[in-house]
Structure 1
């Protein structure tokens, strides 16, 4: 089967996108060996789990297995070392830049197609998580791939990609749910609104039922098939007596995550703080002491500094993008009866990647972590590409914004001095 998404190396902008991918890969590989023998953030949980998986023992069953199995695979190939631990997230994080360009290419014209992948590269939180043996890079890659397939009209392939995303981490379900709603509603604009209300509602209900069946067998079932088969194979291979069916494993995961409630409010950074300001979260810091001739410490500076902190100009853009996208979609439906796929897809992506975490914290007292916002960051970069492509926006604005993000990225780049 031919790749359904166009990428022509003869095209100048396609080549630049490939350079962005190679740049991302290079920046990751530079810092990949550090810290030597130490874990970054939640690597302390996942690397021991991967070691157990390599021994044939089930581990870390509160999360789906795929991301850990992929890390285990590279540990088997390259060894139980920094390369083995981090090659999988580095690869998926770098590939996400390329797929983000392909998504932008579907809706934007050059050079604006380069804005989303460039901004995604420059998000510090995305870069740091893609530098460590964590589950997020694999999940985010499959989410971006799924939305890209959907944008090109390959609904079944989109469902398959969402199935793989769910096999990495469960929050992909929120975004998939948003796109189920999108697929159900996107064809309803063709209904004649001038009909009387009863006739309009009858036609709408009929169309929704027809579209629901289509969405189920072309989108939902492929995702469920991949997820359930993957989970069943994992449970069968690792012979865990607690999970004789995939349903038991799913119930265990949901029960576990439902139990993670806030005990000490002061210990957490809440979803409303993610889009305002919060202090950088140290993941792994190595300080160097400067001594005088008597051996006294006269200065201390970090040589390695991994922070869980986003490139905040991108994160703050939600305040502009949500009303902008909602207003454009509203005007298009109300006055033209037309669909705006780029704006609609981006709006759905933002809404269903951020607000589930906000509502679960407010209503269910669920624990929040700033890196959950990584599900929203690619959508924001896409939204910024759409916004900056408006004719009314001066050409220097996106350049200035990218330079600000570049400065932020350089400041928080984990390697502070050459080792």
Structure 2
């Protein structure tokens, strides 16, 4: 982010969309914790609102509110809605695109989807979501030139919304291409471990390593070439063989009732320390507590919610309840199944990737409980499950102070 404000880009293997928001808040409010976090907080709240509006298209407002509330207490969703990470802004623009789609505002859907691509490549999952719904809803088409034209216009607007801003960014910033793009270091056991960019800057300042610039990016084609050939997707450093993998590094385990591995899902730690500093001419003296950010799954929601949703989908197929069944099955196929397949490429997976599936299983569990015919029992079951989800959140709160 600080490089972005200086007009530099040293990591063209990441898409730059989030920097536009983060750079704006940092310019307005300064380089501080508030500026770095507030965009994710805002996008988290907006995502909840859009999901609520979508849920209302498939169930009652009360059920939609309960599903959105359950989503808000998921530990992964919470931590990603409070840190400078790309997944929640991506989620907002992606699901906003789907909302515009179901409201038949196709131009807005395409523009929103294009900007989602500018933030992170997993925007492709929301494209899958829209395409699955579109193909199933219109499966009885007598395919005509007009229908093909509409699809091509949608794809064109999406591409323009993605490529034109990226082109302007590349012309202004000219991101630097290094060789290698992702720096690695040999671990004691012989594996190649990736070095994060902030750590690279520290190591360079101390003369331990030196990245060699070989070229600059000047257009989106070059940018996408670097992204595909030199980034996370292709780097050997992000292969399973180069990581100390645990059970939660494998997507099929995200929805199985297995114990969480100890200390495996940490997102960062700040150790306790004293400080004596002058900021804006004011002397600050005190102590920073030890803070740890956790990325543990909310198993109460993930496991029960996922399998309840699968059961509801099965019931919906048998009873031919197409509308709700289509939303849930397309959500799981689009957001979760790709990771089940990608693990066979050897790419290491992390449990927070499940964040895009959580909204669909939040709705799925609520609709499953809504099948209980006895009114009082149905209400009690919903209250108990909400308490369990909140209880898990409290016990495994993703921000721990010591």
Under a length normalisation based on structure 1, what TM-score does the superposition of the two structures give? 0.73
The question of whether the paired residues in 1 share the 8 Å contact of 2:98 and 2:126 is answered with: no
Partner residue in 2 for 1:158: 109
Partner residue in 2 for 1:305: 292
Task: Pick closer, same or farther for the CA change 1:313–1:212 going to 2, 3 Å.
Answer: farther
Task: Pick closer, same or farther for the CA change 1:182–1:212 going to 2, 3 Å.
Answer: farther
Do residues 64 (structure 1) and 15 (structure 2) align? Answer: yes
CA distance in 2, matches of 1:411, 1:99: 28
Do residues 321 (structure 1) and 309 (structure 2) align? Answer: yes
CA distance in 2, matches of 1:220, 1:165: 14
CA distance in 1, matches of 2:114, 2:391: 37
Give the Å deviation of 1:391. 5.0
CA distance in 1, matches of 2:165, 2:367: 36
Partner residue in 2 for 1:250: 224
Q: Where does 1:310-389 land on structure 2 (aligned, <5 Å)?
A: 310-316=297-303, 317-329=305-317, 331-332=319-320, 340-362=322-344, 364-389=345-370
Partner residue in 2 for 1:24: none
Cα distance per residue 1:223-246 (max 9 Å; x no partner): 211111121111112134633331
Partner residue in 1 for 2:137: 186
Residue aligned with 1:134, SS: coil
CA distance in 2, matches of 1:77, 1:250: 31
CA distance in 1, matches of 2:243, 2:341: 16
CA distance in 1, matches of 2:32, 2:144: 52
CA distance in 2, matches of 1:326, 1:207: 30
Cα distance per residue 1:379-407 (max 9 Å; x no partner): 21122233233353722222111110011
In the alignment, structure 2 segments of 5+ residues that lack a partner are 176-214, 274-288
Give the Å deviation of 1:118. 0.2
Task: Pick closer, same or farther for the CA change 1:116–1:248 going to 2, 3 Å.
Answer: same
Residue aligned with 1:306, SS: strand
The question of whether the paired residues in 1 share the 8 Å contact of 2:100 and 2:108 is answered with: yes
Residue aligned with 2:294, SS: strand
The question of whether the paired residues in 2 share the 8 Å contact of 1:164 and 1:227 is answered with: yes
- Of Structure 1 and Structure 2, which has the larger fraction of its residues in strand? 2
Deviates more, 1:374-383 or 1:124-133: 374-383
Give the Å deviation of 1:64. 1.2
Residue aligned with 1:171, SS: helix
Partner residue in 1 for 2:282: none
Under a length normalisation based on structure 2, what TM-score does the superposition of the two structures give? 0.76
Residue aligned with 1:107, SS: coil
Task: Pick closer, same or farther for the CA change 1:210–1:186 going to 2, 3 Å.
Answer: farther
Cα distance per residue 1:302-338 (max 9 Å; x no partner): 9633210121122112223124214413541xxxxxx
CA distance in 1, matches of 2:221, 2:400: 47
Residue aligned with 1:263, SS: helix
Task: Pick closer, same or farther for the CA change 1:82–1:104 going to 2, 3 Å.
Answer: same
CA distance in 2, matches of 1:254, 1:141: 24
Give the Å deviation of 1:113. 1.7
CA distance in 1, matches of 2:87, 2:167: 22
Give the Å deviation of 1:146. 1.7
Q: Pairwise CA RMSD of aligned residues? A: 2.5
Give the Å deviation of 1:287. 6.9
Cα distance per residue 1:232-286 (max 9 Å; x no partner): 1111121346333312211221222133422236435111122224325122346
CA distance in 1, matches of 2:110, 2:67: 23
The question of whether the paired residues in 2 share the 8 Å contact of 1:185 and 1:208 is answered with: no
Partner residue in 2 for 1:226: 161
Give the Å deviation of 1:121. 0.6
Deviates more, 1:316-325 or 1:96-105: 316-325
Partner residue in 1 for 2:76: 125
CA distance in 2, matches of 1:321, 1:84: 38
Partner residue in 2 for 1:264: 242
The question of whether the paired residues in 2 share the 8 Å contact of 1:93 and 1:141 is answered with: yes
Give the Å deviation of 1:88. 0.8
Residue aligned with 2:143, SS: helix
Q: Where does 1:56-135 land on structure 2 (aligned, <5 Å)?
A: 56-135=7-86
The question of whether the paired residues in 2 share the 8 Å contact of 1:343 and 1:383 is answered with: no
CA distance in 2, matches of 1:414, 1:358: 25
Partner residue in 2 for 1:216: 152
Task: Pick closer, same or farther for the CA change 1:414–1:318 going to 2, 3 Å.
Answer: closer
Partner residue in 2 for 1:281: 265
Residue aligned with 2:291, SS: strand
